[in-house]
Amino acid sequence: MNMKNNTVPEKVKIINKNSGEESNIISLYDTVEQAEPQNEIISIKGLKKSFDKNLILKGINVSFSKGTIAAVMGPNGSGKTTLLKCVLGLVRPEAGEITVNNINIKNNCEYRKFIGYMPQTPRFPENLKVKELIDMLKDVNGNECDYDEELLIKLNLQAIYNKPIGTLSAGTKQRVSGSLSFLFNREIIILDEPTAGLDPVSCEIMKEKIIKEKENGKLIIITSHIVSEVEALADRIVFLLEGNVHVNSTVDELKDRTDESNLNKAIAKIMVNHGS
């Protein structure tokens, strides 16, 4: 049923209140706007969060739809991880509303059965074996049967099923963590720097998987600092700067707007313009 949507992944919804720039984009994508709401799966409105009186998110408005890969970018400390953690309910926001599949996530935990999550730095109980960890997660998730074990197989993790997790290298843990985020066939997959610390082969497998799942109609949100990777994967870029959504557009639009053919330069230009 999602096939129709997959063909036009570049559609966007702009709720960026930053400057006048987006007005022309909205008019361009006017028609797409109308088709949007039924696809929208995550909607964030007026999200605010501070740590120790430091306002990290200053009222974020953004929404994500099915069948897309969205990249959340921004300099270090711009609140990328905090934003994703708010969606996951790991961080309690001060203000704002987040809905996932039209469920308000406040005081609700059921909505998380739609989300698969890969944290930035995974750590598991050191003395459990990989197999036990997987069994435990299956157990906790109520043993539904349509597991997606593709990544476990492709990343060759079955060979280490009987090793205690404490003995694995950081990269291997990252592979385990990535596989687990896809294991339960969730509609939304949130990957916090999915390829950091992976070897090139695993990296490619991971990227292939991300694209494949997008084509299956899932929403995949990644954060990354690697521009080439974002360029290859993402349909949309949400660029956070100083706690606001600075840019929210497709990769091509971003290039058009900045008159740069190179995404790296386009992003640099945005940041420089902001500074001046």
Partner 1 sequence: MAAKKILKYVIFDIMRSRLIITYTLLLLVLSFGIIYLGRDITKATVSLLNIVLLIVPLVSIIFGTIHFYNSQKFIEMLLALPIKRSNIFWAEYLGLAVSLSIGFVIGTGIPLLAYGASVTGVYLLLTGIFLSFIFSGFAFLSAVINKDKAKGIGLSLMIWFYLSILFDGLVLMISLFFNDYPLENVILVLTALNPIDLARVMILLKLDISALMGYTGATFEQFFGSMMGTIFSIGFLLMWITLPALGALRLFNKKNF
b/e burial code for range 190-221 (CB count within 10 A of at least 16 → b): bbbbbbbbbeeebbebbbebbeebbeebbbbb
Q: How far is the CB of 167 from partner 1 (least distance, A)?
A: 12
* Residue with smaller CB distance to partner 1, 177 or 250: 177
Spatial contact of 105 and 43, defined as CB atoms under 8 Å apart? no
b/e burial code for range 7-23 (CB count within 10 A of at least 16 → b): eebebbbbbbeeeeebe
* Residue with smaller CB distance to partner 1, 58 or 269: 58
Q: How far is the CB of 10 from partner 1 (least distance, A)?
A: 29
* Residue with smaller CB distance to partner 1, 128 or 226: 128
* Residue with smaller CB distance to partner 1, 90 or 201: 90
Q: How far is the CB of 81 from partner 1 (least distance, A)?
A: 11
273's tokens: 């313009």
What is the Cα–Cα distance from 242 to 66, expressed in whole angstroms?
27
* Residue with smaller CB distance to partner 1, 83 or 267: 83
Q: How far is the CB of 132 from partner 1 (least distance, A)?
A: 7
The pairing of beta strand 244-250 with beta strand 236-241: antiparallel
* Residue with smaller CB distance to partner 1, 103 or 201: 103
Q: Residue 189: which region, alpha, beta or left (left: phi > 0; alpha: psi -120 to 50)?
A: beta
Q: How far is the CB of 273 from partner 1 (least distance, A)?
A: 32
**Which residues bind to partner 1, rule: CB under 8 A?**
51, 85, 88-92, 109-113, 115, 117, 119, 121-128, 132-133, 136-137, 139-142, 164, 177
* Residue with smaller CB distance to partner 1, 180 or 227: 180
Q: How far is the CB of 176 from partner 1 (least distance, A)?
A: 11
Closest to 25 in 3D by CA, of 252, 197, 192: 252
Q: How far is the CB of 1 from partner 1 (least distance, A)?
A: 23
* Residue with smaller CB distance to partner 1, 37 or 125: 125
Within 13 A of 178's CA, how many CA atoms are on the CB side? Answer: 31
What is the Cα–Cα distance from 178 to 253, expressed in whole angstroms?
30
Q: How far is the CB of 120 from partner 1 (least distance, A)?
A: 9
Q: State the DSSP code for 141.
A: T
Spatial contact of 219 and 169, defined as CB atoms under 8 Å apart? no
User: One-letter amino acid identity for 250?
Assistant: T
